[in-house]
Structure 1
Amino acid sequence: MARVYLTSLNCQTGTMARHRDIALDRSGIVAAAFALLDEAGLDGVTMRALAARLSVQAPALYWHVRDKAALGGLMAEALYAEARAGLHDGLDARAWLLALGQGLCRSLARHRDAARLLASARPLAQASDETAAGMAAPLVQRGFSREQALEAQAAVLSLSLGWSIYRENAAMHAFLTGMFDLEESFERGLRVLVDGLVAEAVPASS
């Protein structure tokens, strides 16, 4: 998206307001929102607080992000994109799904309250046949049907998100780690889930 230069008004006590140009775009807004998330937690991410962090008036944000729900959707998209960054053509179906689940866990671990954010975020686009085909394509190329591909990704991402929510909840994390190793359990559960998904899907399409 082209960069848009907006004028912000900075008021100083006992002086006339002065103006300065601020380069604002969606990528910069999302980066600032994650910095705010890390600093203040999910409840502290508001359009007003984000505007203050960017040194602009709140209405300036609405040129790029229509409301807080849309901001959450953009942040969720960024988390999913980061989770998929390690996926490549050389991976077979099993390795691809394992990398997807592990990638999301790593992505969520980098930011405070990221799992809560992802669990509550609204999709930015409407579900469509084109969207489904695009999401399913990597696993369809590896022998899954489209329905199997979508369900497999949903299952893996749900496991990673649920485990990440346990990690973020300090009391639950302490309770569970008092009984078993949470990280090892996640990896074991992910492997069992993926092995089952691959065993069910790939032979059926061969």
Structure 2
Amino acid sequence: MADQKNPKDVTKRSAAKPKLDKAHVADTALDLLNDVGLEGLTLRAIAKELNVQAPALYWHFKNKQALLDEMATVMFRRMTAVGRDVGYEPSGGWQEWLLQGNRQLRATLLSYRDGAKVFSGSRFTGIDHGPEMETNLRYLVDAGFTPDQAAWASSTAYLYTLGFVTEEQGMRGQGEDAAPKVDVAERARRLADFPLAAAAGAQLFAAYDERFEEGLRVIVAGIGARYGVG
């Protein structure tokens, strides 16, 4: 006679394995991202972390880009949740609105290894971003921008932040034992015959917080000058 399975054992095994859905996979992928970086983040590696076979993930994501889309969406949800928790209500007009929003975006991207690369080229799933986007654009329109100008202004600031953080994460090094990729002093020594280029290294490969803030303020000032909105 064949051995009969104990229903209690089956139930115990079922309870031990968490439900595999998009949200759980994306959360696991974001946790793993900080350990292995974007290049090491394969569906096989995620499946191993989840203790499932890789084909099981294809029920939820047809390819890695679909997974990145969901990861970017989760990052956005977390960012907006933080904004609500801290009472994100900028004062000082549309300029401060753009400044604070992009500071928050940079902080979010920097909190994940290769966070800017995950965001870049990804499309949000669902419409979670709809209310936030509507609020941002409405704020600019109420400040005097046309709808088109509001879209251009917000996307220009966003793209600056995304590009800056992509370069920042690429040059500063990330993860444990990571080191900056440029030795500023050594670079200055090699470029000693070109004093301006040599001196620029301290600004090009260091002082990232100050550089981001200065560049963002230049962008915002340029937006105001271009569209004549004070």
Range into which the TM-score falls when normalised by the shorter chain: 0.7 to 0.9
Summarize the Cα distance change of 1:50–1:167 in structure 2 as closer, same or farther, 3 Å threshold. same
The corresponding residue for 1:42 is 38
Pick the structure with more helix per residue.
2
Larger strand fraction of residues: 1
Q: What amino acid sits opposite 1:26 in the alignment?
A: K
Q: Which residue of 1 aligns with 2:83?
A: 86
Identity %: 31
The residue aligned with 1:179 is: 202
Residue 136 of structure 1 is matched in structure 2 by 137
| Corresponding residue pairs, total | 182
What's the counterpart of residue 31 of structure 1? 27
Deviations 1:137-172 (A, max 9, x none): 342243322211111121111111222122212325
Counterpart residue number, 1:123? 123
Q: Which residues of structure 2 form unaligned runs of 5+?
A: 1-12, 172-180, 188-198
CA-atom RMSD, angstroms?
A: 3.2
Tell me how far apart the structure 2 counterparts of residues 145 and 192 of structure 1 sit (CA, whole Å): 21
Q: Which amino acid aligns with 1:195?
A: A
AA aligned to 2:214 is R
**2 CA distance for matches of 1:199 and 1:89?**
24
Q: In structure 2, how many angstroms separate the alpha carbons of the residues matched to 1:142 and 1:24? A: 45
Q: What CA deviation, in whole Å up to 9, does each residue of 1:96-137 have, x standing for no partner?
A: 111121111111111111122223x332569xxx99x84733
**For the residues of structure 1 that align with 2:44 and 2:125, how far apart are their CA atoms?**
25
CA deviation string 1:73-104 (max 9, x = no partner): 11222334444453745543111111121111
Distance 1:143 1:51 in 2: 50
In the alignment, what sits opposite 1:22?
18
Structure 1: 5+ residue runs without aligned partners?
Answer: 1-17
Scaled by the length of structure 2, what TM-score is found?
0.66
Structure 1 residues 149 and 83: CA distance shift in structure 2, 3 A:
farther
Q: Which amino acid aligns with 1:146?
A: P
Tell me which residue corresponds to 1:69: 65
Distance 1:201 1:80 in 2: 29
Q: 1:160 to 1:29 in 2, by over 3 A?
A: same
Structure 1, residues 10-60: CA drift from partner, whole Å, max 9, x if none?
xxxxxxxx7653222322221111111111110111111111111222233
Larger Rg: 2
